[in-house]
Chains A and B, each alone.
Chain A
Amino acid sequence: MIGCLVIIERELLALLRSSKTLAIFLTVSVAFSGIVLLKWPSSAIVDLNGAKGREVFQWLTYAMLAAAILIVPVFPSTALVTEVRRHTLELLLNSPLSRTSIYLGKALAMLGFVVLLLFATLPALASCFLMGGLSFTDDILKLYMFLLLVSAQLVVVGLLVGTYCRSTESALRWSYGVTFAMTIVPFFPDALFPGGTSPIAKAFQWLKLISPIPSLMQMLNKGSVGGSGLMETRDVVSWYIGFAVCFILIGSVVCILRLSHSLLDRSRSQGFITDDQSQWVQASRRVLYLVDPQRRSAGIPTLVNPLMVKEFQCRQFGRMHWLLRLVAGCAVLSLVLTLASAQGTEARGVEYTGALIIVLQVALIVLLTPGLASGMIAGEREGGSWDLLRVTPLTTGQILRGKLISVLLTLALLLCATLPGYAVIMLIKPTLQQQVVQVLVCLVLAALLSMLVSATVSSFFRSTAVATAVSYAVLVAIFGGTMLIWMNRESPFGFDFVQNALRLNPMAAALNAMQADGFQSYDLIPSGWWITGITCTVLLAVLYAQVLRLTRPD
């Protein structure tokens, strides 16, 4: 136990000494105070039933959950990888500390950090409490306990992911991926096949409950998301608590078991190559593989940008056989979406299904693009290969082109995956053809914007992990922040302010083109396109200037 305390002290002090932590605390405090200020009653009439207080509380609750989902994975996911890379895990494992002490020390230190983060929201919640209508034990304390449980789950996810990854950047990317997969993605299947009685539809309804959001909604007496207006009758909170506790326990055991010297002594590939195998093996692999990943490559074609090929080769899933698998996966996804479009149309209208597909696509773009582009420059500088590129005759333009095209091609594949869904929409309602074209333009712009934001951020940092985290923050601010403003469209924001804010968000323009609920009254096209286009041009210019500066002699 004393060993555990030693680790907690070291981890927590290291976290609190960092200027990044201070920035996070300040941002959280300011953001939450802002929410209270925006929702502060402006009317002179006194609200005696506490409805206003509850409304502000509801906003704060969602914001706190969002903050937990966005901030918590950063620290646990990189904690173990950093120890491995700095060789300090060897020292810890060779000390008298047990593996359990090391794990608990790290996990509890992260939770300590979360508690401090939650304290940063206290002033905002206190103001909310003063508005009336809230109980300290039934509302505020319960909310804090619930958020602590969610954070504990995310800490376990982060630490567990950290034992599988070799770089901080991939740990961060996978952590966010798993976090989003557990909190946001479970809604989509239920939203696409709502209210069904088939076993699959029922499975989707249960799948939704692994996310903390339905539980939070039930705690706030707000029914359930994607329930098509139906109130949730199940005890969602207890179900989630049971799931989260089991996950934390099982995840912790797995993590402790993995926390051994095997993390430091990973096997090195001996470079198995098909060309060196017997004729029989070569022939059988030719039959089994469309593209044999173990075949000796023919080399980069003379006229192709070498950096583009290098980017694909270095990416974990960038090799041809993986790209083929991605195309196949996308094709399956597109079939599912097509099915959903066709099934849900009668009940909710094509626009609803279209809006759902748009949100899903943008969510995928926002989730994947920082992973693809934020290591573009930062990764090279971090690994020491940037100087090697600088001493080659490659020009700034060639370097940028090669890197950007490799990301663009991957994103294009992703976008193409959902085209059949739009085809079905156009088949059902041919008059939507023009809108669908507009939506596609918006999605292309969303992909371009995400890529350029991540790439530009990458050029300002030396660490890929930091660049990835900052890229996610900027993209969430663009795509999520403007939607928050839209959600407050009745008060305190006016129509013009909301419209101007939405013009920054290509997803809002796509929803506007699709005439989705709540977006019909805005005029976002083509002004939104112009704004995104100009933003992309400015970002490209900044990126070019940065890369030019970095390639020139110091």
Chain B
Amino acid sequence: MSSQDAVVEIHELSKHYGEFIALDNLSLTLNRGSILGFIGPNGAGKTTTIRILVGLSRPTSGYAKIGGADCVRDLAKVRRLVGYMPDKFGSYDNMRVREYLDFFGAAFGIARKERRKRVAEVLELTNAVWMQDRYVESLSHGMQQRIGIARTLLHNPEVLILDEPANGLDPEARIEMRTILLRLAAEGRTLIVTSHILPELSRICDRIAIVAGGKLRAVGTLQEVTRELSQRRTIEIQFLTSTGLADVASRIRPTLEADAEVTVSEAEATIRCRTSANDQKMAALLNQLVTAGDRVSQFREVAGDLEEAFVSAARVAEAERTERESGAASSAKAEVAR
């Protein structure tokens, strides 16, 4: 990825709260028009990163830039470039949806005539025209999420940062939300979306970043991330017929590591291997099968699961934390003994 195309640029970003490290040297770039799924367990550092990006928090070290504007020094420019939807809606009492949007439009300095047009546009874009005269506090959660997105779009920002937009939505509302987000990306906007609903993210995001324990564990396309984080890969070998598959499986087993799983599906004429073997070993296995005259019709790797990658990253972070804590405890003991 060339850094000239990058709209969002995060370089060695760290945030410390006393001794607690919320973010640890996080670096990331994001191109125009892409959707980044920003995932991680609770307390991983997602919201901290987002708050730094929108100028609500100051990093301890490193920097973040949006559209070339520094998120600390060029705050005024960043505010115009970014549309931010926090996980909490932030409603006002006794205000109708239209008035609510009108207020935020006015806060961004949009002139009244232009604002009226813009409010109508964003309501249309988020399929929310029918709720324009409702009171904001009386809307359901799903409706409020849509109004939240409409609010972020008012000043026509280049980058949208949405914290848990699908949280608490029913399946229908989630589908609608997905459609809206894809429509926004198609308009050329860059989106950063955090969510715990991983299948949802894997459907819409072209890039995934996984953070855990304040560190970036993996970033890339869904396939790259899952391959990077999954400790085992699944190789699917399909044969022309299902005869003698058990025999083939017994020949495959010794070529893989001891704890590799080899399962036979006679109905599909397929053997599946869950293994940590690298590409060279896999190539050797294929060669061995072909040489032995086994009629292989397909030999492919099955795309990994985002959930598995997520759990794997969380486990690594947890192991690091435990190690750190036990290290600190043992050094404290040693200190006492001394």
**Which A residues fall within an 8 A CB radius of B?**
167, 268-273, 276, 296-302, 306-307, 309-310, 313-316, 318-319, 383-394, 553-554
Kindly report which residue of chain A lies nearest to residue B94, judged by CB atoms.
A314
Partner of B138, one of A269, A296, A384: A269
Residues B134 and A306 in contact, CB atoms below 8 Å apart:
no
Contact A299 to B115, CB < 8 A, known contacts A269-B138, A383-B90, A385-B91:
yes
Determine if B94 and A268 form an interchain contact, defined as CB atoms under 8 angstroms apart.
no
In the complex, which residues of chain A have a beta carbon less than 8 angstroms from the beta carbon of B52? Answer: 553
Total residue contacts A-B, CB cutoff 8 A = 114
Q: Which of B72-80, B164-172, B259-267, B299-307 contacts A (4 or more CB under 8 A)?
A: B72-80
Residue of B nearest to A375 (CB): B93
Q: Are B55 and A391 in contact (CB under 8 A)?
A: yes
Task: State the CA gap A273–B132 with chains docked (Å).
Answer: 10
Which are the 3 A-B pairs with shortest beta-carbon distances?
Answer: A384-B88, A306-B106, A385-B90
Minimum CB–CB distance from B288 to chain A (whole Å) comes to 60
Complex formed: what's the CA distance from A271 to B100 in Å? 14
A-B CB contact pairs (8 Å), 13 listed: A299-B102, A302-B111, A309-B103, A310-B92, A316-B93, A318-B94, A384-B89, A387-B90, A388-B84, A388-B104, A391-B56, A392-B107, A393-B80
How distant is A133 from chain B, measured CB to nearest CB, in Å? 54
Chain B residue with minimal CB distance to A398? B107
Q: Is B133 positioned at the interface, with any CB of A under 8 Å from its CB?
A: yes
Residues of A within 8 A of B232 (CB): none
Q: Does B116 contact A (CB under 8 A)?
A: yes
CB contacts (< 8 Å) of B135 on chain A: these are 268-269, 271
Instruction: Please report the C-alpha to C-alpha distance between residue A273 and residue B96 in the assembled complex, in whole angstroms.
Output: 11
Check A300 against B103 for contact (C-beta < 8 Å). yes
Interchain CB contact under 8 A, B56 and A553: yes
**Are B72's CB and A553's CB within 8 A?**
yes
Across the two chains, which residue of chain B brings its CB closest to A552? B58
Given contacts A271-B134, A271-B138, A391-B55, 20 further A-B contacts (CB under 8 A): A268-B138, A269-B135, A271-B135, A299-B106, A299-B112, A300-B102, A300-B115, A306-B107, A309-B103, A310-B92, A316-B94, A318-B94, A383-B90, A384-B86, A387-B88, A389-B107, A393-B107, A394-B107, A553-B57, A553-B58
A193 shortest CB reach to chain B, Å: 38
Q: How far is the CA of A318 from the CA of B99 in the complex (A)?
A: 14
Q: A392 contacts B108, CB within 8 Å? A: yes
Q: Tell me if B82 counts as interface (CB < 8 A to partner A).
A: yes
Q: Are B108 and A554 in contact (CB under 8 A)?
A: no
Q: How far is the CB of B198 from chain A (nearest CB, A)?
A: 25
Q: Within 8 Å of chain A (Cβ to Cβ): is B277?
A: no
- In the assembled complex, which residues on chain A have CB atoms less than 8 Å from the CB atom of B99? 297, 313
Bits for B128-139, please: 1 = Cβ < 8 Å to A, else 0: 000111110010
User: How many Å lie between the Cα of A297 and that of B82 in the bound state?
Assistant: 28
Q: By the criterion CB–CB under 8 Å, are A271 and B133 in contact? A: yes
A167 to B91, CA, bound (A): 13
Could you give, for residues 108-142 of chain B, a 1 whenever the CB lies within 8 Å of some chain A CB and a 0 otherwise? Answer: 11011001100000000000000111110010000
Please determine whether A300 and B106 come into contact, CB atoms closer than 8 angstroms.
Answer: yes
Bitwise, B48-59 to A at CB < 8 A (1) or not (0) is 000110111110
CB distance from A372 to the nearest CB of B (A): 14
Q: Which residues of B sit under 8 angstroms from A392, Cβ to Cβ? A: 79, 104, 107-108
Cα(A260)–Cα(B106), bound, Å: 42
Q: Which residue of chain A lies nearest to B110 when distances are taken between CB atoms in the complex?
A: A302
Is A314 touching B96 in the complex (CB atoms < 8 A)?
A: no
Tell which of B86, B95, B134 touches A388, judged by Cβ atoms closer than 8 Å.
B86
Identify whether the interface residues of A are mostly helix, strand, loop, or mixed. loop
Which chain B residues lie closer than 8 Å to A268 at the CB level? 134-135, 138
| Residues of A close to B86: CB separation below 8 A | 384, 387-388
B94 pairs with A315, CB closer than 8 A: yes
Q: Judging by beta carbons under 8 Å apart, are A391 and B112 in contact?
A: no
Q: Does B98 contact A (CB under 8 A)?
A: yes
Contact A391 B82 (CB under 8 A): yes
Q: Are A314 and B107 in contact (CB under 8 A)?
A: no
How many angstroms between the C-alpha atoms of A300 and B86 in the bound complex?
25
Check B92–A314 contact: CB distance below 8 A: yes
Residue of B80, B84, B106, B133 ringed by the most chain A CB atoms within 10 A: B106
* B91 / chain A contacts, CB cutoff of 8 Å: 383, 385
Residues in A neighbouring B111, C-beta threshold 8 A: 302
- Residues in A neighbouring B82, C-beta threshold 8 A: 391
With most chain B CB atoms within 10 A of its CB, the pick from A272, A273, A385 is: A385
Bound-state CA distance A310–B102 (Å) is 10
Per the bound structure, the CA–CA distance linking A309 and B99 in Å amounts to 10
Chain A hits for B115, CB < 8 A: 299-300
Bound CA–CA A553/B144 (angstroms) = 26
Report yes or no: A306 in contact with B138, Cβ–Cβ below 8 A. no
B57 touches A310 (CB 8 A): no
Measured between alpha carbons, how far is A366 from B131 in the docked complex, in Å?
Answer: 39
List of A residues within 8 angstroms of B92 by Cβ: 310, 313-314, 383, 385
Within 8 Å CB of A391, what residues of B? 54-56, 79, 82, 84
For the complex, give the distance between the alpha carbons of A307 and B109 in Å: 12
Which residues from A are CB-within-8-Å of B151?
A: 388
Residues of B within 8 A of A307 (CB): 107
**B79 adjacent to A393 (CB under 8 Å):** yes
| CB contact under 8 A between A388 and B108, given known A269-B138, A296-B133, A309-B103 | no
The interface centre, meaning the residue of A307, A553, A554 with most chain B CB atoms within 10 A of its CB, is A553
Inter-chain contact B56/A390, CB cutoff 8 Å:
yes
- Say how far A105's CB is from chain B's closest CB, in angstroms: 30
How long is the Cα–Cα vector from A357 to B176 in the complex, in angstroms? Answer: 60
User: Which B residues are in CB contact (< 8 Å) with A310?
Assistant: 92, 95, 103
B contact residues around A301 at 8 Å (CB): 112
Q: Which residues of A contact B96 (CB under 8 A)?
A: 271, 297
Cβ of A270 and Cβ of B57 under 8 Å apart?
no
Residues of A within 8 A of B58 (CB): 553-554
- Chain A residues near B55 (CB, 8 Å)? 390-391, 553
In the complex, A208 Cα to B147 Cα: how many Å? Answer: 51
**Chain A residues closer than 8 Å to B90, beta-carbon distance:** 383-388
The smallest beta-carbon distance between A266 and chain B, in angstroms, is 9
In whole angstroms, how far apart are the Cα atoms of A309 and B115 in the complex? 15
List residues of chain B with CB within 8 A of the CB of A299: 102, 106, 112, 115-116
Q: Which residues does chain A contribute within 8 Å of B138, judged by CB atoms?
A: 268-269, 271
Measured CA separation A269–B137 after assembly (Å): 10
Q: Give the distance in Å from the alpha carbon of A387 to the alpha carbon of B47 in the complex.
A: 13
B56→A270 contact, CB < 8 A: no
Chain B residues near A394: list those with CB within 8 A.
Answer: 107
CB distance from B147 to the nearest CB of A (A): 12
| B98 contact from A296, A386, A554, Cβ within 8 A | A296
What's the nearest-Cβ distance from chain B to residue A269, in Å? 5
A386 to B84, CA, bound (A): 13
Q: CB-nearest residue of chain B relative to A389?
A: B107
Minimum C-beta distance from A84 to chain B (A): 14
Instruction: Report the separation of the CA atoms of residues A273 and B55 in the bound assembly, to the nearest whole angstrom.
Output: 38
Q: Report Cα–Cα, A297/B115, bound state, in Å.
A: 13
Taking the nearest CB of chain A, how far is it from the CB of B309, in angstroms? 31
Please determine whether B134 and A269 come into contact, CB atoms closer than 8 angstroms.
Answer: yes
CB distance from A224 to the nearest CB of B (A): 42
